[in-house]
Chains A and B, each alone.
Chain A
Amino acid sequence: MNMRKNILVLLTVFLVLPVSVVFAAGDAPKLEHQHWHFSGPFGTYDRAAQQRGLKIYREVCASCHSLKRIAFRNLEDLGYDESQTKAIAAEYTVEDGPNDEGDMFERPARPSDYFPNPYANDQQAKATNNGAMPPDLSLITKARHHGPDYVYGLLTGYHEAPAGTTLLPGQNWNAAMPGHIIAMAKPLSDGQVVYEDESPQTVEQYAKDIVEFLAWAAEPEMEVRKRTGIKTLIFLVVFAFVMYRVKKRIWSDVH
């Protein structure tokens, strides 16, 4: 029947449109698609990888990049218990106050505190980085097209500039960066961060682990969201089936 054709046309409209928008990025470099533990409708975060990613963030990234939307209490999501998050927080110092005398004072961080910013303000961040502001990493995997693949591609994409490209001082060539020129120097090299488990201490592994951590930082609700989604869908499909039977029953005297 014609109706089927029409429905097909409409379905195409609403499937093609969003896809074309996603690919509207234009001249962005091609990103190699990685398999992530958190992809797919049943995907979850790999706790061990997240903990290794946290270690890399703290030892490498945190010297330039803030993570201002993550509090130490949130680290319980990574599989740490309360005493462990307390211990991690206590390794940081934060400014508090004013106290009863009206003075600001420094104290060890508590689980309710957020990761401190490495810079006093944005101006200082720019001034110490050749005018380029290191972005906050709390949302980085959501704020780029194909975010996880982008971050992985960026961290593993440092190569010699191809012949004909001149780099100014403070510039680096990167395969994943749009325009291929990036201010950040190659941040990771093999063996740089010492892992407590047996995972290989390579740039590729480091990049995978930090992505696992940052994807969680951007979407801490993802596991709950997908679990709720599965339950909701099971309910809806059963409900739709029941409704379909009721509809058939009610309409049986008409047809």
Chain B
Amino acid sequence: MANKDRVPFENTTVEWIDSRLPIFTMLQKEYGVFPTPRNFNYFWNFGAIAMFMLVTMIVTGIVLAMHYTADTQHSFDAVERIMRDVNGGWLLRYIHMNGASFFFVAVYIHIFRGMYYGSFKQPRELLWILGVLIFLLMMATAFIGYVLPWGQMSLWGATVITNLFSAIPLVGDSIVTLLWGGFSVDNPTLTRFFALHYLLPFVIFAVVFLHVWALHITGSNNPLGIDTKGPQDTLPFHPYYTMKDSFGLIVFIIVFALFIFFMPNSLGHPDNYIPADPLVTPAHIVPEWYFLPFYAMLRAVTFKVNLVMLGGFGIMFLPFFWNVGLGLLKAFTGMVSVGGKALKPFKSMTTNPLYLVAGFVLVIAGALLHGMIPLLTSVEILSAKLGGVIVMFGSILLWFVLPWLDTHPIRSARFRPVYKTLLLLLVVDFIFLGYVGSQPADATLLGLPMSVFGLIATVLYFGYFLALLPWLSKNEKGRELPPSIHEAVLAENKG
């Protein structure tokens, strides 16, 4: 392959290996001299930090698995034996337990970085999509891992979340039976979850490999969001970014260590130190903090959806569904070379506030007239449960099509003041959803049921992605971009 342009190494051992398997050449190319934009800020540390957390979780997890027993009669005791009798067991477990949280901290910051600086945009769409896939796999792995200690929250959290799948029409109940390996969350559930919890991190590792591969094809984005134009805009990855990443990583580990050694249980729920008991339901079943915003969206849908309301939702997001559907169809027909000709007359739709208003009016009308018009409003199309499930999963699936929702030519929020403000408001909305998710189902705020606030925050969340982003893509002017990275860096250093 690249053997012809290989530069021989001086060290004979290295050269012997490299001439047979050019692994040193590859490392040199991808991590040594790899041209990297010279203007990264510390937000760009979190990819490396997330990688470090993944490795930490796998290493501690493998050792924990050596001492763990997946059995409803023994799992809780096995974890306590690790905590009390295994040498350094408490440290391993606290690293693993808090490591899950800190992995999510790193990845949430990493995702925010991608949104803020427009890293998901052309030509990095696939890189972004692989990232969203990693996030979904992480969520599955973390949820399954939380079940393994077999405490009260393990059992009841698993019961609530696996039950969601029963909302799927026709096959829902079968899926739930398959997940459980029986008719309730029990020993077969625990054993299959353990097997999957050991498997999924390696799947994540494989997707991370693809993610990094894709990154090394397109090169990194940077805080200015403009392309690199030559060697004056870049620095070799080593030593500049190996060093900057190492420093950032150690600062991150300091915060991580504070939790491991001084407040190891502050991110968990005390109920998980009570052995699982199928006969006692905890007062409030709450997931781990990193799931709370999504949990709030799940619980925000407390109403049934009839035919009129469904039509209303369809009209509200008609351009979105049309464009995504058409895009996928064109991509597919292009791939199997049936020829995109038949689809040529179909143009993508432009967003128009009219759809939103008309659709919204229809949704409200459908809700007010619920049960009053035969067929149109009297037949329940979606149960509240299924609606919640669609909203919860939809909130993340949306990220897959983010590159086609935000098509504004400017990447970095630095040069898009409106986008920047709205994105920061989205972060506030997301945190607020987290707060709503942490509250018991019957909680109230300002005299109103919490689910009302959950619904408003959910609507804002979807509105941001489905309405505001496409609209901004067309209508935000943005600021003038600097001519190149090195000129911007020079100007900043002077000022």
A: which residues have CB within 8 A of B? Answer: 2-3, 6-7, 9-10, 12-14, 16-18, 20-22, 24-26, 41, 69, 74, 135, 138-139, 142-145, 147, 178, 218, 220-221, 225-226, 228-230, 232-233, 236-237, 239-240, 243-244, 246-247, 250-251, 254-255
Contacts and interface: CB of A to CB of B under 8 A. Distances in A.
9 contacts: A2-B414, A17-B431, A139-B80, A139-B273, A139-B274, A147-B270, A233-B261, A250-B239, A251-B243
A246 B240 CA distance: 10
A145 B240 contact: no
Nearest to A12: B431
B84 A220 contact: yes
Contact of A243 (B105, B109, B243, B289): B243
Interface string B430-448: 0100110011100100000
B265 A142 contact: yes
B266 interface: yes
B257 A233 contact: yes
A254 to B, nearest CB: 6
A9 B90 CA distance: 33
Task: Name the interface size band of chain B.
Answer: 35 or more
Contact of A26 (B254, B264, B439): B439
B284 A24 contact: yes
Interface stretch (B245-253, B353-361, B476-484): B245-253
Given A18-B266, A138-B80, A229-B262, 11 more contacts: A6-B43, A10-B427, A24-B286, A69-B80, A178-B283, A218-B273, A225-B91, A233-B257, A236-B250, A247-B244, A247-B247
A143 B240 contact: no
Contact of B289 (A18, A26, A254): A18
Contact of B243 (A7, A135, A225, A250): A250
B210 to A, nearest CB: 27
A24 to B, nearest CB: 4
A26 B284 contact: yes
A19 B440 CA distance: 15
Contacts of A26: 283-284, 439-440, 443
Contacts of B121: none
B424 interface: yes
Nearest to B438: A24
A250 B271 contact: no
B261 A228 contact: yes
B112 interface: yes
B431 to A, nearest CB: 5
A226 B262 contact: yes
B68 interface: no
B109 A10 contact: yes
Given A21-B286, A143-B274, A240-B247, A229 B260 contact: yes
